[in-house]
Amino acid sequence: MRVVLAEDGVLLREGLVGLLQRFGHDVVAAVPDATGVAAAVDDTDPDVLITDVRLPPTFTDEGLRAAVALRARRPTLPILVLSQYVEQTYAAELLDSDAGAGAGVGYLLKDRIGDVEEFVAALERVAAGHTVVDPYVVRQLLGRRKDPLLRLTPREREVLGLMAEGRSNAAIARAMVITEAAVAKHISGLLIKLDLPPDADDHRRVRAVLAYLRGRS
């Protein structure tokens, strides 16, 4: 994969470049601020963009704004946004910026980088067009929904959380130490309870769930 990386911290930027290279990916451009992101993307036409939320020159949320602007201009570019904080506000803005082209999008805490294999797997899922949302954010979203989600069993809620992280049925089954058939049963059950028709496509299903959750916030 060809990756463009926007991160202002030198240590972290170098670390990420090393990490991605080790897993066989190629960082074609690494920029230290938000102003260079669009140009770097246009120049290199990467498979995925990784950007920090907070970048110079203002150190607020320039990375996120750049990502949202890029998604409007290049709807097919998968973007993974890294954040120092768990802010559902940012996650919602990023997910809402989806122009409908179905490009992958991710919002992860920077802490996840440390779990190198999982991080690279998440990046690959984003590049493949999936949605990946940090478990913390998912927990927040689930924690504050009341009405329809109260109808779910704890098991179903757990499955929904893992789904929202962009995991496949097999991965959910491994994580929960249950069979895949049981996962499928939970999923169809929770989709019915949430008034969402079952769907063969994992990724669209996740989006439907997330959109549903967002719409209720």
The residues that touch another protein, with contacts defined as CB under 8 A, are 8-9, 11-12, 15-16, 18-19, 22, 54, 59-61, 84-90, 109-111, 113-117, 119, 140-141, 143-144, 146, 217
Of 172 and 213, the one with the shorter C-beta distance to another protein is 213
Query: Smallest distance, Å, CB 105 to another protein?
Result: 19
Of 84 and 188, the one with the shorter C-beta distance to another protein is 84
Cα separation, 149 vs 212, whole angstroms: 11
Crossing angle, helix 10-22 and helix 116-127, to 10 degrees?
80
Of 111 and 180, the one with the shorter C-beta distance to another protein is 111
Q: Residue 105's closest CA among 135, 84, 75? A: 75
Of 28 and 109, the one with the shorter C-beta distance to another protein is 109
Query: Smallest distance, Å, CB 116 to another protein?
Result: 4
Query: Smallest distance, Å, CB 117 to another protein?
Result: 7
Q: In whole angstroms, how large is the CA radius of gyration of the chain?
A: 17
DSSP 3-state of 163: helix
Of 141 and 183, the one with the shorter C-beta distance to another protein is 141
Buried-exposed string 192-201: b where 16+ CB fall within 10 A, e elsewhere: ebbeeeeeee
Query: Smallest distance, Å, CB 8 to another protein?
Result: 8
Query: Smallest distance, Å, CB 37 to another protein?
Result: 18
The Cβ of residue 157 has, within 10 Å, a number of other Cβ atoms equal to: 17
Of 61 and 124, the one with the shorter C-beta distance to another protein is 61
Query: Smallest distance, Å, CB 16 to another protein?
Result: 7
Q: Say if residues 90 and 54 touch (Cβ distance below 8 Å).
A: no
Q: Residue 61's closest CA among 6, 114, 142, 115? A: 6
